[in-house]
């Protein structure tokens, strides 16, 4: 039985230029139909859900829904599932969609963790990103959520934000901007901070802006300096660095996301939501009309299904687990695979990219910024390929 639940709300105020998630503009009629479908899917999935340890309402922008609609979703969960009394119940919020009164109502309905997409505390950067809020909105949102009584607030920040081409060689300016956002974020004292590197994904307006030369990405060296600056500044303020991009005050690590990195089972409800349980990964129909139609016809909206082989399971264990700063417990690997990995681990250690502490294999400080490349080398070694 699954103890971790994700609910997807695919509506946004407007599309940010870097976003490649499936999200659509909010329309109250379609949102109403979608919520009804979500409540029905909650009921249809009753058989696979055990006591819920975490619930994560993500998007899109879930707080674009009214407090009444969100309370209705939580009630549907209570009617169908058992929720642990100390369950972590998170909702993602956009600064423009959260007032003190709304936050208080969400708290009353059972939400106890708010994750606010701030991204930057510099207006010019927020305009470049195409966000619907400004720095003042962001600061006000965190303060509102705090005064409403939330004791667990997370904020997202983005570094490596592009600039108009004529400013891109001013490295000092870029680093100073990032320091400013971090400093302002620290003043808000959130329990949890995620710092994400901006990657221009294909088929986004940002990708086109870079291709056309309207915007330029910071240099790799600047991005890496920003990454370490973020980690070091937050650690200095007693935040614990527990995953490549995530830090928290002690005891406030995101339990829901830790379950993903621990390769735990979860159920995803809603258009495009993914699930992992019973040895398979599945994905719901992405298109909201298809999703609603399936549910209204009493059909599971599953559009993709993949049974995980033993080899795939092992690879997942490594590439998800090594995202955690504690790394992976090598004791949990079959002996044969540990032997295969030995050479790659020694080679990566000699370059200072990984280290073995007791039974644990983890990325070093130097390895963190190169995590993708390092993890690929470890995975290749499982197939008997030598790391380059």
- CB-nearer residue toward ligand SF4: 21 or 360: 21
Only segment of 59-67, 134-142, 226-234, 377-385 that touches ligand SF4 (CB under 6 A)? 59-67
Nearest approach, Cβ of 318 to ligand SF4 (angstroms)?
29
In this chain, which of 21, 180, 207, 260 binds ligand SF4, going by CB under 6 A?
21
Q: Does 194 bind ligand SF4 (CB under 6 A)?
A: no
Nearest approach, Cβ of 116 to ligand SF4 (angstroms)?
11
Nearest approach, Cβ of 259 to ligand SF4 (angstroms)?
22
Angle at 326 between CA 239 and CA 247, to 5 degrees: 20
CA distance 54 to 88: 5
Residues 6+ apart with CB under 8 A from 141: 93, 95, 96, 98, 116, 118, 133
Pairing of strands 113-119, 83-93: parallel
- CB-nearer residue toward ligand SF4: 207 or 277: 207
Q: Does 15 bind ligand SF4 (CB under 6 A)?
A: yes
Nearest approach, Cβ of 22 to ligand SF4 (angstroms)?
9
The answer to whether the beta carbons of residues 114 and 83 sit under 8 Å apart is no
Nearest approach, Cβ of 298 to ligand SF4 (angstroms)?
30
Q: Does 115 bind ligand SF4 (CB under 6 A)?
A: no
Q: Is 292 exposed, middle or buried (0-12, 13-18, 19+ CB in 10 A)?
A: buried
The binding track of 71-100 with respect to ligand SF4, each residue x by CB under 6 A or -, is -----------------------x------
The answer to whether the beta carbons of residues 320 and 260 sit under 8 Å apart is yes
Q: Does 19 bind ligand SF4 (CB under 6 A)?
A: yes
Q: Does 3 bind ligand SF4 (CB under 6 A)?
A: no
- CB-nearer residue toward ligand SF4: 95 or 321: 95
Angle at 375 between CA 324 and CA 231, to 5 degrees: 40
HEC letters along 103-166? HHHHHHCCCCEEEEEEECCCHHHHHHHCCCCCHHHHHHHHHHHHHHCCCCEEEEEEECCCEEHH
Which residue ranges make up the site for ligand SF4 (CB under 6 A)? 12, 15-16, 19, 21, 23, 59-61, 94, 117
């Amino acid at each position: 039985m699954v103890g971790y639940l994700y609910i997807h709300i695919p509506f946004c105020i407007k599309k940010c230029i870097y976003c490649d998630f499936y999200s659509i503009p909010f329309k109250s009629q379609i949102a109403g139909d979608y919520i009804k479908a979500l409540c029905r899917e909650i009921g249809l999935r009753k058989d696979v859900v055990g006591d819920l340890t975490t619930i994560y309402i993500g998007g899109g922008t879930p707080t674009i829904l009214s407090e009444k609609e969100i309370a209705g979703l939580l009630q549907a969960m209570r009617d169908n599932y058992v929720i642990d009394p100390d369950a972590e119940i998170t909702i993602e919020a956009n600064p423009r969609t959260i007032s003190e009164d709304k936050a208080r109502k969400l708290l009353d309905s059972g939400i106890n963790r708010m994750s606010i997409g701030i991204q930057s505390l510099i207006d010019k950067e927020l305009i470049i990103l195409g966000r619907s809020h400004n720095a003042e909105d962001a600061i006000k949102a965190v303060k509102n959520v705090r005064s409403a009584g939330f004791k667990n607030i997370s904020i997202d920040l983005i570094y490596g934000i592009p600039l108009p081409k004529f400013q891109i060689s001013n490295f000092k300016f870029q680093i100073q901007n990032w320091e400013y956002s971090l400093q302002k974020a620290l003043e808000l004292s959130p329990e949890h901070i995620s710092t994400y590197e901006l990657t221009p994904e294909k088929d986004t307006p940002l990708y086109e802006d870079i291709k056309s030369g309207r915007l330029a990405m910071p240099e790799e060296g600047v991005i890496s300096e920003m990454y370490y600056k973020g980690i070091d500044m937050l650690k200095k303020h007693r935040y614990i660095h527990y995953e490549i991009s995530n830090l928290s005050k002690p005891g406030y690590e995101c339990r829901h996301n830790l379950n993903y990195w621990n390769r735990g089972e979860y159920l995803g409800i809603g258009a495009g939501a993914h699930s992992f349980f019973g040895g398979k990964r599945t994905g719901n129909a992405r298109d909201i009309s298809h999703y609603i139609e399936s549910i209204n016809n009493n059909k599971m909206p599953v559009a993709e299904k993949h049974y995980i082989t033993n080899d795939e399971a092992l690879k997942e264990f490594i590439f998800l687990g090594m995202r955690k700063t504690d790394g992976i417990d090598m004791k949990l690997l079959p002996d044969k695979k540990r032997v295969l990995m030995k050479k790659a681990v020694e080679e990566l250690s000699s370059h200072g990219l990984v280290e073995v502490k007791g039974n644990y294999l983890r990325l070093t400080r130097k390895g963190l910024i190169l995590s993708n490349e390092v993890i690929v080398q470890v995975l290749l070694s499982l197939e008997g390929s030598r790391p380059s």
